[in-house]
């Protein structure tokens, strides 16, 4: 069956699809209401809108589409073949919008909502599980979407709306972000068990100036800190291997492939010795960051408050 075309000028096929969607979207629920009742007056009453408003909306919808959606007999209407096709897709779209609304309301619920939380790989074994366990003592049903990544990637996640909060190091200083220092973590010089320095307990970083280093890749906060500490100690590290996780670097050190500046491990690893660095002061600051000006949902606000309350006691002792 050939759909009847309206006499008005049809939209150009080259027209902007997004503009068309914006034009049609406000009238879709009206269309579905009229289509279900097949009666303009009854639909207007059910949707609590003036009948004249509803009638004008349907006429404009048909004009925008360039297709008759209804066959009219007074105030009673019936769908044309084009109208039935359009209704099928409109009902799917409205159902999807309804599901989206339910999802965002559920994520914002104070008791059962969701927090999108990013953190460094080195904080995944102990720090973050401990924090979430402690937080859920008072908020047992709050859900978490957890993302492990390096610092710059998490900051981009904040800007893209993919994360609500992140734990990172160094503490960022950017005009579009808010960051709060929470704690600091000592870094150690990790050497192979048979290394010339392995019998020591403490070492000045300058004593490792001639060593080969294994480090995280450029862009990682710990890599920047390593480079800065070595520069402060008077040398530029000779880097043999670059990786993405601290425990991988520990494995490389255990295999005798270099030394590394790393935070303490969750579990002691055989084959390496971890030395306290006496000079320069080898620490990294840990902070929480979020996007400036973005409103918090109740669960995000509660978790942010919890993290800020852990200043000085964020990390396991």
Q: Taking the mean position of all CA atoms in its chain, how far away is CA 316? A: 25
pLDDT tens-digit readout, 161-212: 999 999 999 999 999 999 999 999 999 999 999 999 999 999 999 999 999 9
Determine phi and psi for 297, rounding to 5 degrees: -75, 160
Average confidence (pLDDT) over 70-96 = 90
| Whole-number pLDDT of residue 4 | 46
pLDDT tens figures, 234-273: 999 999 999 999 999 999 999 999 999 999 998 899 999 9
Give the model's pLDDT for residue 1. 39
**What tens digit of pLDDT does each residue of 39-70 get?**
888 988 988 889 999 889 999 999 988 999 99
| CB neighbour class for 86 (10 Å; exposed up to 12, middle 13-18, buried from 19) | buried
Full-model pTM: 0.79
Beta bridge partners, 78, equal 71
Q: Which residues pair with 285 in a beta bridge?
A: 184
Locus of tokens 């050939």:
2
pLDDT > 70: percent of the chain:
92
Closest CA to 36 of 21, 54, 60, 23: 54
What is the C-alpha separation between 14 and 310, in angstroms, rounded? 57
Q: Mean per-residue pLDDT for 6-14?
A: 43
Q: pLDDT band for position 22 (50/70/90)?
A: low
Look at residue 111 and tell me whether its pLDDT is greater than 90.
yes
Average pLDDT, the chain: 91
């Amino acid at each position: 069956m050939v759909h009847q075309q309206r006499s008005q000028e049809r939209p150009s096929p080259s027209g902007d699809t997004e503009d068309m969607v914006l034009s049609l979207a406000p009238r879709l629920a009206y269309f579905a209401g009229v289509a279900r009742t097949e009666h303009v007056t009854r639909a207007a009453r059910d949707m609590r809108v003036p009948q004249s408003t509803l009638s004008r909306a349907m006429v404009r919808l048909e004009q925008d589409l360039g297709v008759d959606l209804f066959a009219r007999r007074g105030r009673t209407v019936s769908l044309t073949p084009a109208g039935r096709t359009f209704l099928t897709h409109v009902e799917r779209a409205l159902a999807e919008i309804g599901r989206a609304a339910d999802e965002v309301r559920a994520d914002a619920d104070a008791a059962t909502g969701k927090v999108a939380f990013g953190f460094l790989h080195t904080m995944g074994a102990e720090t973050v599980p401990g924090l979430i366990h402690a937080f859920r003592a008072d908020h047992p049903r709050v859900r978490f979407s957890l993302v492990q990544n390096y610092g710059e990637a998490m900051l981009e996640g904040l800007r893209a709306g993919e994360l609500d909060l992140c734990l990172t190091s160094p503490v960022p200083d950017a005009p579009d972000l808010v960051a709060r220092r929470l704690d600091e973590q000592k870094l150690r010089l990790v050497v192979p068990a048979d290394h010339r320095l392995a019998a020591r307990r403490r070492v000045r970083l300058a004593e490792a100036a001639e060593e080969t280093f294994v480090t995280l890749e450029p862009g990682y906060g710990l890599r920047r800190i390593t480079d800065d500490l070595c520069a402060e100690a008077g040398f530029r590290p000779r880097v043999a291997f670059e990786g993405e996780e601290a425990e991988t670097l520990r494995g490389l050190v255990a295999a005798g492939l270099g030394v590394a500046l790393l935070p303490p491990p969750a579990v002691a690893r055989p084959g390496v010795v971890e030395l306290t660095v006496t000079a320069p002061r080898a620490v990294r600051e840990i902070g929480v960051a979020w996007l400036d000006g973005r409103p918090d949902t109740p669960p995000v606000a509660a978790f942010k408050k919890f993290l800020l309350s852990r200043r000085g006691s964020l990390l396991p002792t």
